[in-house]
Amino acid sequence: MTTIAVFGISGVGKSRLCSLLADRFGLAHAQASDLLKRAKEVEAGKSVSAEDLRKGAVLDNQSLLVWSFRKFAAQEPRDIIFDGHSVIDAGDKLIEIPVDVITAIGPAAVLFLWEEPQTIAVRRTADLGRQRPSRSAAELAEHQTRAEELAQFYAQRLQIPFFRLRSGDDEECCNLLDGLLSQ
């Protein structure tokens, strides 16, 4: 089984891309926030919101995410597209996800999805279904730069390929994934 990790900041289009890739290639889509949310709900015995996860003990939650991902992967016969974050905007600070978490997930490659910060700002404003901190295009540019640096660091540390892809360039993403999965 192969896991491909897709990173990018909130609003860049990771979930849309990962859903498209999962459908096109018959992959299992492991969304970090969903895995963590379900695990936290079992642990707490009550409903947990995405906002609770973002504002809660983000770093403490990472071991639970790894446990949940491993459980998911053990039950999944298909290759996996992992949809996650290298940084999380906790409102008052940017929290970096440690490389040990990504190492434990064990991706074969890291894909970083990027977009013009102004476009991300517009998407985030238009998405009424999710709560996110309000950020200017300049702040999003800084967050995106740091997120990409971390994604590159993960790939370097794990000695796996790193690819930077533009949001919306679905054919390039599909061609790339086709090549990665056929290795």
Residues 140-160: pLDDT tens digits? 999 999 999 999 999 999 999
Kindly report the CATH class assigned to 3-181. alpha beta
pTM: 0.90
**Residue 167's pLDDT is what?**
94
The domain segmentation of the chain, as residue ranges, is 3-181
- At 115, is the secondary structure helix, strand, or coil? coil
User: Are 73 and 35 in contact, with CB atoms under 8 Å apart?
Assistant: no
Checking DSSP bridges between strand 28-31 and strand 162-166, what pairing results, if any? unpaired
Mean pLDDT of 5-15: 94
